[in-house]
Structure 1
Amino acid sequence: MSGLVVIGASYAGVQACLTARDSGYAERITIVADEHSLPYQRPPLSKGFLLGLESKESLILRDGAFFEKKAIDLVLGTRALEIDKRSRKVLLGGGSELAFDKVVIATGSHARQLPIQGADLDGVCYLRSLHDAVDLKARLHDASEIVVIGGGFIGLEVAASATKLGKKVTVLESASRLLERAVSPLVSEFLLDTHVQHGADVLLEETAASIEGRHGRVAAVLCGNNRRIPADLVLIGVGGLPNDQLAKSVGLKCTNGIVVDDHGRTSDSNIFAAGDCTSHFNIFAQEWLRLESVQNAQDQAKAAGLAIAGDTGPYESVPRFWSDQYDAKLQIVGISRNFDTQAVRGSIEDGKFSVFYYRQKKLIAVDSVNRAGDQMAARRLIAGGISPSPEEVMDLSFDFKSLLKAADSASVAAQKSEPLERPV
C-alpha cells in the first residue's frame, strides 16, 4: 500500500502529516524517525528542561493515541537510508521498506562540529536532541565551571540556564558581538549586559584553539590568545547544518539546505521538504534563506501538507523567532539585515523595549524584549506592508491599531469596488 511517507518526527514532519490528513488526504501516512521517543518540543531543551521546569513527558507534542486517531503510523528508532524514486520506495534500516506516492523530508539540522584538538574529550557536549539534553542536564548537575563556545541562541540559552543553576560560566564568541547574524548591535549590547549582570563572563572576538584534558576528561579551554580557562564541562554551540544528505543522494537540488518552492516542493514533484533542512526564497527578506525556527517549520509544513492533499496555500509567513535568557524574553519578527534606520519603543534601561527596523522607510523587522504586544502588532504590520513612522513608534501613546484598522477598511472598500467579472 503506497501513501505519504514523512521522514523526520520534527515540528515540520508532524505538521505536514496533520495538515495533509485534515485537508482530505485519505491514503496511508507514515512518520519515520531515527529517535525512539514520540515527537517532542525542542526549544525547551536549552531552557526549561535543563532547569528542571520541564520533564521528558511534558515535552511530548502528541501522545500515541492522538496519532492512532489520526491514522498516522509511527516508525520510531528507524533510519531512512534511501529514497528509491524508480520503485517509489523508502528503504529503511533493518531491511524494511515503505512504498510511497509522496515523500516529505523533515530531517531538521545537526550541530556544526568544532574541529579542534580535544573536541572528542569526555565532557564536551552539543545540544540538538532530547538525548543530548538528558546527557547535558546530568553533567550540569555535577559540573562547576562551564565554558560555552559560541554566542548564538543555543549557547546563550544554555549559558543562562547554567548561570541560574549557580555555575561559573564563560562564553566565548569569535564575532565582535553576540547574535551578530540575528539581531542589531543595540540588542546585542543589551544581551551582553544582561549576561554579565547575572555573573557570566562573556569574551568577544575570542576563539577556542583547543580543549585540554586530564585522564580523558575535559579540564580547560585554551583560547586563541593562549588564555587558559578551567572547565569541567564544555558546550559547543557554533551553529547548525541542514540534514540534507538523503536529499543529495537522490539528486534533489540543495544549496544550504534542500531547495523548495512556496508549496514545499523540491526539484522532484513527488518529494516535499519542510523545516530546518530547507532553503526557500523568502518574500519578506527578498532572498534565499534557511530558517531554523518553529514558525518556519510549521508554516512551511502546512503549505506542503495542503499541496499533498491537492489544496492550495503557499508559504508566505513573516519569519518569527524567540529566545528566553534569564528574565529577558526576546521575540523577533522579520529579518533585520541591511536596515538603514531604527527606532526604539519603550525603555532599554527597564528591559522592556522594542526596536523597529526600516529599509528605505519600509518596516522590515522588529526585535522585542518583554514587550509581547509590540510583536503581535508587528506581525500584522509587516505582513500587510504597513510602516508606522519612527516618530509614531517612539511615541508610547500611539496605538498601532489605528493603522491596522485603516488598512482593513481600505481593503474592504477595495473589494467592494471590484467588478464581479473582470475583463479578459
Structure 2
Amino acid sequence: MADDVTMVIAGAGLAGAKAAQTLRDEGFTGRVVLVGDEQERPYERPPLSKEYLQGRAERESVFVHPRDWYAEHGVELRPGVPASAVDTDAHELVLADGDRIGYSTLLLATGSSPRRLPVPGTDLAGVHHLRTLADSERIAESLRTSRRLVAVGAGWIGLEVTAAARLADVAVTVVESASLPLLRVLGPEIAPVFADLHRAHDVDLRCDTGLAEILGRDGRVSGVRLGDGTEIEADAVVVGVGITPNTGPAEAGGLRVDDGVVVDEHHRTSDPDVHAAGDVARLLHPAYDRHLRVEHWANALNGGPAAARSMLGGDAGYDRLPYFFSDQYDLGMEYTGYAEPGGYDEVVVRGDLAAREFIAFWLADGRVQAGMNVNVWDVTAPIQRLIRSGAAVDTGRLADVDVPLDDLAPISPTHAER
C-alpha cells in the first residue's frame, strides 16, 4: 500500500493495539493513528478482575506494549479523547473534542461500557463498576479498607471480584436475579458448581432476588435494600450486571447496528471502508452460520489482527471459536465454543463434578457445541476439533475419562486458538 494511505483505529484497547501492531508486522508503511478514550496506553482487561486486583501482578504487566513501542513503530497514539462519530461521506473520524481525523480505512474497536442499575444510590461513594484499570485500582483499595462487600450480579466479573474479596478476608454477599450464578452461560446442569464453590468460601449467595436501592450515609454507601425489603450492610458495592457495546460512533455514521456493529466474517461493516472488531463487533461466524458478539479477551486478541489483515486487503475470514477463561479460588476453567440457552439438548460430564475436576460438553443432536474444562488442562485443541467436526459423538465414550479425547476428535489441521 502507498505511504499516503491512513489507517485510523478508534479504540485503544487490546483489539485496537493488536490491530496497530499487525498493520506494522504485515509491512504497512502508511500512517497509523490509534485513538483512545482513556489516558492510559492500551492494556489487557483480564488481570483487572484477577491477578492485578488480587495484588499478584505488577501494574506494568497489564499493558499490551512497552511505553516506547508506539513511537518506535510510527503509531500515533491519541489518548484521552473518545471518538464521537464516523463521517463516512467525508472519510473522517470525529472526536469528542471536535477534531477530525481523515482515514482511508477505519477500524472501530470502541469496546463496551458497564450497564448501570436503574436504582437509587448508584452515585454514592463506594459504588464501583469494573471496566478500566482505574476501576480495578479503586476496587482494590476498597478491598483493603472494607469489611463487607455486596456484589450485584453473579456473572464472571461479579464472581471473580467476589473471589478476590474473600481472599482479602472481606465478607461478601452476592445478589443475583437468576436462580443460580452464571445460569445463562452454563445452564442449570453446571451453574451449581459455581454456587457451591462460593458458598464453600463463605459467600452469602442471594439468588432469585433483585436490588431495590443502594443505601448511603453522608454520601457514602452503607448497605443495600433488596426487592423483598431485606437490608444488608456494606462498606462497598460492586455492580457487575453486563456490558453494552459502544456503538455511538457507528450509529452516528449510519452503519448497520444490531446489538453491536454488524460485520461480515472479514470484520467489514456495511461501509466497505469501515471495519469493526472486539466487544463492539457482531460478527458473522462461519462455524455457527450466524452473527455473534463475543465479549471476551481472546476475541479482542485475535479479532484485532484479523481485522487489520482485512483492512490490508486480505481475504481470510475469521473463524476462531469463542474462548474465555476464569480463575476463582482454586478453580481454573476454560470455555471453548458457543452454546446459547435453548440451543443444546444435553450436557455430558467427563470427570468428577463434585471434586470440580471435569470437562462439560454441551451437545445438540449429538454434536458438541461447546466444552468447558475445569481444573483439567491441555484439552482445548481436541475440544475445538470436536466442535469443528460437526460429527455426532458417542456420549458414553465422551463421558469416559479412559477414552482419550483425541480418539473422539477427528484429526485435522487446527488453529492455535488461544
| 327, 332, 348: which one aligns with 1:329 | 332
* Deviation of 1:290 (Å): 1.6
The farther-off stretch of 337-346 and 240-249 is 337-346
Secondary structure in 1 matching 2:378: helix
Q: Is the 8 A contact 2:189 2:347 kept in 1?
A: no
Q: Equivalents in 1 of 2:231, 2:276: separation in Å?
A: 44
Paired amino acid for 2:121: G
Aligned to 2:411: 407
Question: Could you tell me which of 277, 281, 293 is aligned with 2:296?
Answer: 293
CA contact (8 A) 1:50 1:137 kept: yes
Structure 2 residue 383 is matched with structure 1 residue 383: no
Does structure 2 retain, via aligned residues, the 8 Å contact 1:381–1:387? Answer: no
- Equivalent positions of 1:149-168 (< 5 A) are 149-168=152-171
TM-score scaled to structure 1, two decimals?
0.92
User: How many pairs align?
Assistant: 409
Shift of 1:232: 0.9
Offset at 1:386?
4.4
Q: How far is 1:374 from its partner?
A: 2.8
Decide whether the 8 Å contact of 2:365 with 2:392 is kept in 1.
Answer: no
Residue 319 of structure 2 corresponds to: 316
Q: TM-score, normalised by structure 2?
A: 0.93
* Deviation of 1:126 (Å): 0.5
Contact 1:2 1:98 in 2 (8 A): no
Q: Secondary structure at the match of 2:117?
A: coil
Cα distance per residue 1:259-316 (max 9 Å; x no partner): 1111111111111110101112333344332210112223322321111111121011
Residue 221 (str. 1) matches residue 227 (str. 2): no
1:422 counterpart residue number: none
The one-letter code sitting in structure 2 at the alignment partner of 1:30 is V
Q: Assess, with a 3 A threshold, how the Cα gap between structure 1 residues 325 and 285 changes in structure 2: closer, same or farther.
A: farther
Instruction: Determine if the alignment matches structure 1 residue 19 to structure 2 residue 22.
Output: yes
Shift of 1:43: 0.6
Q: Give 1:136's aligned residue.
A: 139
* 2:360 aligned residue (336, 355, 358): 355
Tell me how far apart the structure 2 counterparts of residues 131 and 79 of structure 1 sit (CA, whole Å).
17
Q: Is the 8 A contact 1:108 1:243 kept in 2?
A: yes
What is the letter of the counterpart of residue 257 of structure 1? G
In the aligned structure 2, how far is the partner of 1:166 from the partner of 1:173? Answer: 21
1:213, distance to aligned residue in structure 2 (A): 0.8
2:375 aligns with 370
CA distance in 1, matches of 2:58, 2:267: 33
Secondary structure of residue in 2 paired with 1:222: strand
Question: Equivalent residues in 2 for 1:249-288 (5 A)?
Answer: 249-288=252-291
2:344 to 339, 346, 350: 339
For residues 94 and 115 of structure 1, the distance between their equivalents in structure 2, rounded to whole angstroms, comes to: 29
Which residue, out of 80, 84, 99, partners 2:83? Answer: 80
The correspondence of residues 409-424 of structure 1 with structure 2, limited to 5 A, is none
Offset of 1:120 from its aligned partner? Answer: 1.1
Give the C-alpha shift of residue 401 in structure 1.
Answer: 2.1
CA change 1:387–1:20 in 2 (3 A) is farther
What do you get for the CA RMSD once the two structures are aligned? Answer: 1.8
Structure 1 gap ranges (5+): 412-424
1:38/1:63 contact within 8 Å kept: no
| Matched-pair contact (CA < 8 Å) for 1:352–1:370 | yes
CA contact (8 A) 1:4 1:101 kept: yes
How far residue 89 of structure 1 moved from its aligned partner, in angstroms, is 2.2
- Percent of residue pairs bearing the same amino acid type: 34
CA separation in 1, counterparts of 2:264 and 2:109? Answer: 15
Alpha carbons of 1:112 and 1:142: their partners in 2 closer, same or farther (altered >3 Å)? same
State the shift of 1:244 in Å. Answer: 0.5
Segments of 4+ in structure 1 off by > 4 A? none
The answer to whether the 8 Å contact 1:2/1:99 transfers is no
CA contact (8 A) 1:125 1:235 kept: yes
1:149 and 1:284 mapped to 2: Cα distance? 34
Give, in angstroms, the shift of residue 372 of structure 1.
2.0
Letter in 2 for 1:203: R
Moved more, 296-305 or 107-116: 296-305
